[in-house]
């Protein structure tokens, strides 16, 4: 998490480091009661949700619940001062929170295959009577190909999200 922000700061993006650390911490933890793990975890989830919406296009993977619970018990709970908590929390976030990565090559395959498939589908659609009635041949390629690619990537996203939600369901 710390690497992309430090790289952006070096490129001259002003204040991004402050927004991602101090201001966000103050907004979600400073004035909240976090004496129990449940209260801390609610503030943490709120923080992660806010963090992912503030930086559009980037999503961050957070540690598992047990890792957060252990860090809370070992580090957060014993600290008394707000300044120490803030410093330790920022260090923890930089160490444990990572940018979400694509775990499979579904996006890459969809992005590479969709333009060619769109052109092939459009050309073959001109000779198939059932497809010809949709008049796909009237849509210019500069519109049709990106639209098909976008639909393919959205489909790949839906498949990956469905897969993740199935993986995260607790087994009974």
Phi, psi (deg, nearest 5) at residue 96: -100, -25
Contact 87, 94 (CB under 8 A): no
**C-alpha to C-alpha distance for 37 and 69, rounded to whole angstroms:** 7
Give the pTM. Answer: 0.46
Q: How far apart are CA 32 and CA 26, in angstroms?
A: 9
- Residue range 92-144, pLDDT digits in tens: 887 877 776 655 678 788 888 999 999 998 888 888 888 888 888 888 999 99
pLDDT tens digits along 15-68 = 444 445 567 677 777 777 777 888 888 888 887 777 777 665 556 677 778 888
CB under 8 Å to 34, separation ≥6 — which residues? 40, 43, 76
Model confidence pLDDT, tens digit, residues 153-162: 888 888 877 7
CA atoms within 13 A on the CB side of 78: 6
pLDDT of residue 142: 93
The Cα 3–Cα 165 span in angstroms is: 28
pLDDT at 104: 64
Task: Give the residue from 73, 18, 23 showing the smallest Cα distance to 47.
Answer: 23
Q: For 9-22, how does the pLDDT look when each residue is reduced to its tens digit (9 = 90+)?
A: 444 444 444 445 56
Supply the mean pLDDT for the chain. 76
Q: Looking at residue 134, what is its pLDDT?
A: 82
Quote the percentage of the chain above a pLDDT of 90. Answer: 12
Residue with tokens 């923890």: 92
Q: What distance in Å separates the CA atoms of residue 54 and residue 49, rounded to the nearest whole number? A: 9
CB 72 within 8 Å of CB 99: no
């Amino acid at each position: 998490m710390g690497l992309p922000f430090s790289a952006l700061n070096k490129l001259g993006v002003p204040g991004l480091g402050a927004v991602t650390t101090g201001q966000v911490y103050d907004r979600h933890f400073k004035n909240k009661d976090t004496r129990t793990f449940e209260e801390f975890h609610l503030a943490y989830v709120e923080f992660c949700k806010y963090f992912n919406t503030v930086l559009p296009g980037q999503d961050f993977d957070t540690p598992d619940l047990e890792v957060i619970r252990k860090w809370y018990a070992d580090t957060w709970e014993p600290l008394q001062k707000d300044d120490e908590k803030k410093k330790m929390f920022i260090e923890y976030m930089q160490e444990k929170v990572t940018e979400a990565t694509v775990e499979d090559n579904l996006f890459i395959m969809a992005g590479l295959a969709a333009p060619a498939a769109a052109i092939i589908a459009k050309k073959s659609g001109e000779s198939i009577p059932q497809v010809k009635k949709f008049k796909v041949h009237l849509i210019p390629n500069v519109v049709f190909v990106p639209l098909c690619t976008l639909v393919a990537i959205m489909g790949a996203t839906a498949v990956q999200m469905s897969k993740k939600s199935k993986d995260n369901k607790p087994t009974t």
